[in-house]
A and B are shown apart, each in its own frame.
Chain A
Amino acid sequence: MFDIKSAFQAILKDEQISPPLAAILALTELIDNSDAGTMFELVKALNDGAEALKNQTTNTISLNAGCELFIAFVTLFPHDSDNFTDLKKELIRHGQNYAAEALTYRQKIAELAVGFIKDGSVILTHSYSRVVMQTLLLAHKRKRISVFVTEARPRGLGIKTAEALTAAGVPSTVILDSAVAYVMDKVDFVLVGSEAVVESGGLVNAVGSNQIAIIARAANKPFYALAESYKFHRLFPLSQYDLPSHTSKILSFPRPLLSEPSLRTNAPDGGLSYPSSGSTSTNQPDLESPRITQESISQNNPNVDYTRPDLISLVFSDVGSLTPEGVSQYLVGMFAG
C-alpha cells in the first residue's frame, strides 16, 4: 500500500525542495503506484492523497498550493493517449519535469530581483528563505550589499540566515523583531520570501512579515516579496483570522486561576472556560501559577501571517515581476472559468 506521507517526508529530506514541490512529487509517485483505471478514479485518489498530506501537518497553505496546482493540471490534461497506462506515464513524466524545472525557478527569481538591487543597498529580510538567500548571494557576487535580518522568534531562523550570509562574506547582523521600526529608516528596501501568494495579491509568510510591511509602508520603503509560481494559491483570506492556519487555540487565554482548591484545574490547553465541578481529578495542592515557558508561548502564537496586497510593492516570480493586482489576474487567468 503506497504511503504518501512517508514518500513526502523522504522527498522533503532534500534541502532544496520546498513543501509544495515535495507534494507535487509525492502525488506523482502516487500516480505511479496507483491502479486507477479511469481519470475519475485517479483524480479521486489524488484528492485523497492530498487530504492525507494535509492532515499530517498544521502549516498546510503552501502544501495546498502545490497539490491544487498539480490536481488542476491533471484534470485539464488533454487525453490524447490511447490507453490509460500511457496517460499515467505522461502525467508522471510531466510531474517530474515540472519539479526538475521548478528547481531552477529560484535562480530565475534571483536574476530578476538582482536588477532591483542597487550597489550599496541596505536590505532588511525576515526569517530564513531559500529564495532570498539565493538572491542575496547572487547580488553579493556583483554588488556590495549589507543585510539586516530579524531574529524571527520563536523559531529563530533569522540567525541561520545571518550565519550563512556572514560565512559568504555579506555584512549582516541580527536585529530584534521589535527593533524593525528602529532600523527601518536605515534600510533601502525589504525583501522577504513567501509561504504562499494568495488570490487577493497578498502574502502569507512567517509571522512578522505583516508587521514589517506596515512599518515599511509607514517609512515609505519598498516591500518586495519573492515567490515561485507554484506558491500562487487560490485562497482568499479576508483577514488574519480567516487563514486556514488560524485556530481557536492561537491567541487564546489560559484558564484563570481560582483560589478554591477544589475548583483549581491543571489543564494546560487554552480556551477561556470555567471548569465544571468534577471535570478534573487533579488538584494543585499549592497556589503556584503555572510557568509560562517559551514552549507554551510558541504554541499559543501563530506561525504565519497575512500581509495585505496594498502593503506589497512588487512580487518577483519566475513568471516575471508582478504587482499584487497582477498576481490575482494571473491566478484568475490560470484557474478561473
Chain B
Amino acid sequence: MPVPTIADPPVVVQSGAKPSQQSMSKAERRELQEKQRAAKAALKEQQGGGKPQGGKAPAGAQPKPPQTPKAPKDQQAGPPQAKIPQATGGAGPSKTKIPTTPHRKSFLAESPWKGGLKDASAAAAEEASNRQSHGLRIFTHFGQPKPIIAVKGEIHPAIVRLGLLFSEFKICGANARCIATLTAFKQVIQDYTTPPQHTLSRHLMTHLSPQITHLVSARPMSVTMGNAIRELKLKISNIDIDMVEQDAKNALYAEIDNYIRDRILLADELIEELAGNKIKDGDVILTYAKSSVVEKVLLNAREEGKKFSIIVIDSPPLLEGKVLLQSLIQGSNPIPCTYALLPALPSLLTDVSMVLVGAHALYSNGAVYSRAGTAMVAMMAKANSVPVVVCCETYKFSEGVMVDGFSKNELVPLSISNKHSNLLKDIDAEPNLEKLNPLYDLTPPGYITAVVTEVGLIPPSSISSIPLALGKTNM
C-alpha cells in the first residue's frame, strides 16, 4: 500500500470520489461538474446561506483580493463545509452530513482536523464558513491537512493522542515532534504482532504507513520526522527474516533509542559546547522565538559561569519567546534578559554581539528553514555586521534545495492564532479581510555566518559536504 503524500496537487478528480471520472470524456466530466455545482448552489439557497457563491476560479489563478469572510472565532470541532476554490465537484453533501470525500479546505479554516467527528453545533460554523466564497489564491498549494474520516487500518491510540497534540500545537518544534513521534512508534511496535504468512521486516512498514498518514493529516510532516522515519524504515527492512519477533522488536527499540540519543541529545550537548565557546563575558546575545537547542546553549553557558545578557525577540501569533524567557530568568541565577517584538529589532541590533537562532531544517544550498521571522532577523543582523550563528543538529539536514519560503510552508490554524493573541480576535469576520500566518520562512545562506552542528562549525556553503564527510549515504 503506497504511503499517501502530503501535498497532493490540485486534481480535477477528487481522490476516491468518482474513479470512473477518469473514463469519462472531458465534456462528460464538465457536465457532471456543472450538475454538481447546481445541486450545491440549490442546497445553499435552501439553507439560507449567506453570500452567493462566486464563480469558481481554478486554483492557482492570479491572486484576487480576498473576498471571503473569516470564520468567526469558532473553536468547535468539525470540518467546515468550505467552498472549494478550485474547479472540482465534490459530491455536494448537505451541510450537516459528514462528507464522504475529503474536501480542500479554505485557508481560513480552523484546525479542522478533529478525527472527523462533528457536533451538531458546528452547523453554525459551517454556515458561516460557507460564506467564504474564495480562499486565498496564494498558499493554496500548502496542502491543508485533510481530515481522515474512514481510516484504512486501525490507528494506534498513542498515534491518535499524538496527532491531537500536534494539531493543537501542544507539541511544537522540530526536535520535540521527532522525539514524540519516535517514542509513539516504539509503542506501536510493541503492540504489533506479525500476522501469519508475513515477515516483520516487510509487514511492519505497511502497518506503520497509516499511522504516519494520520500524523501527517494533523500537521504536515517536519523534515526531522521525515529523516527519522526514513532511518527507521531502513532499520526495519534490514531486520533478519529469521529473527524471533521479540528480538526484532528489541532491536528496533534499541535503534530508536540510539537514534534519539546520538542524533539529538548527544548532538545537542556537543552543540552546547561548540556554540558556548563563542559566547564571551560581556556579550549580548540575540535570539528569536524559541529553539530548544539555543535554550540549552544559553543555559549551559550560564552554568559555566559566563556573564552575558540576552535579547529575546518574539512575534505573534505564537509568541513562543515568552516561554524561552521564562526558562532563562527562573532559578537562582537568572540571566539578564530583554524582551521585544520584531518591529523593535533595528533599535536593539546596535548593541548585539551575536545572533543565535535555531532551525527547523537545513537545506543543501545552505538555506535555513526556520520559524517565520528568522530571515528578517538574519538579514538585519547582516546589515549591521552582527554574526548570525544557527544551531542545528545534522539529522535536520535535508538533501533538497530551497530558495524561498513559498514552495513549502505551513499556515497557523485560526484556532491556534486566536488562542495566543488577543489582538487578532478583535478583527472579526470581515468580508474582505483574511488572516495569513505562515509558520516558517527561509533564510538564504548569504545571511548566515556559521552553522553549529555536532561535527563542528560549518560555513553555510559547505553544508552539502557534511553527509559525505560523515560517511552516510542518506541522513
Contact = CB atoms under 8 A, between A and B. Distances in A.
> Is chain B found bound to chain A in the same assembly?
yes
Nearest to A234: B456
Interface in A9-43: none
A336 B456 contact: yes
A315 B259 CA distance: 39
A332 B458 contact: yes
B42 interface: no
Contacts of A337: 455, 469-471
Nearest to A236: B457
A208 interface: no
Contacts of B354: 238
Interface string B436-459: 000000000000011000011111
Interface in B379-395: 385, 387, 389
Interface stretch (B137-145, B241-249, B322-330, B460-468): B460-468
A328 interface: yes
A329 B462 CA distance: 5
B278 interface: yes
Looking at B455, B462, B466, which has the most chain A CB atoms within 10 Å of its CB? B462
Nearest to B462: A328
B462 A332 contact: yes
A332 B385 CA distance: 25
A200 interface: yes
Contact of A238 (B387, B456, B468, B469): B387
A329 B387 contact: no
B179 to A, nearest CB: 24
A234 B459 CA distance: 11
A309 interface: yes
A333 B456 contact: no
Contact count band on B: 20 to 34
A337 B465 CA distance: 11
A328 B445 CA distance: 15
B459 A333 contact: no
Contacts of B455: 332, 336-337
A199 interface: yes
B458 A328 contact: yes
Contacts of A309: 459
B469 A336 contact: yes
Contacts of A238: 278, 354, 387, 389, 449-450
A333 B389 contact: no
A309 B465 CA distance: 18
A329 B460 CA distance: 10
A333 B465 contact: yes
A172 B471 CA distance: 50
Given A238-B278, A238-B354, A337-B469, A325 B461 contact: yes
A200 B459 CA distance: 5
B387 A325 contact: no
A201 interface: yes
Contacts of A234: 456
A199 B278 CA distance: 15
A211 to B, nearest CB: 15
B459 A242 contact: no
B466 A199 contact: no
Given A236-B450, A329-B462, A199 B457 contact: yes
Contacts of A57: none
Contacts of B449: 200, 238
Interface string A317-337: 000000011001100110111
A333 B387 CA distance: 24
A304 B470 CA distance: 33
A239 B450 contact: no
Contacts of A201: 459, 461
A239 B278 CA distance: 11
A21 B455 CA distance: 26
Contact of A335 (B278, B389, B456, B459): B456
Contacts of A336: 455-456, 466, 469-470
Interface string B23-51: 00000000000000000000000000000
A239 B283 CA distance: 13
Contacts of B389: 238
B450 A200 contact: yes
A329 B385 CA distance: 24
B458 A239 contact: no
A242 B278 contact: yes
Looking at B389, B450, B459, B471, which has the most chain A CB atoms within 10 Å of its CB? B459
Interface string A243-259: 00000000000000000
A200 B389 CA distance: 12
Nearest to B472: A337
Nearest to B278: A238
A335 to B, nearest CB: 7
B67 to A, nearest CB: 46
Nearest to A239: B387
A242 B278 CA distance: 8
A328 B456 contact: no
Contacts of A333: 465, 468-469
Interface in B168-212: none
Contacts of A200: 449-450, 457, 459
Given A238-B387, A238-B450, A337-B455, A332 B469 contact: yes
A265 B344 CA distance: 43
A201 B460 CA distance: 11
B454 to A, nearest CB: 10
Nearest to B354: A238
Contacts of B471: 337
Contacts of B461: 201, 324-325, 328
Contacts of B450: 200, 236, 238
Contacts of A324: 461
Interface string B359-396: 00000000000000000000000000101010000000
Looking at A309, A325, A335, which has the most chain B CB atoms within 10 Å of its CB? A325
**7 nearest A-B pairs in the assembled complex, by CB-CB distance:** A238-B387, A325-B461, A236-B457, A336-B469, A328-B462, A329-B465, A336-B455
Interface of A: 199-201, 234, 236, 238-239, 242, 309, 324-325, 328-329, 332-333, 335-337
6 contacts: A238-B449, A328-B459, A332-B465, A333-B469, A335-B456, A336-B456
Given A325-B461, A337-B455, 18 more contacts: A199-B456, A199-B459, A200-B457, A200-B459, A201-B459, A201-B461, A236-B456, A238-B354, A309-B459, A328-B459, A328-B462, A329-B465, A332-B458, A332-B465, A332-B466, A336-B466, A336-B470, A337-B470
Interface of B: 278, 354, 385, 387, 389, 449-450, 455-459, 461-462, 465-466, 468-471
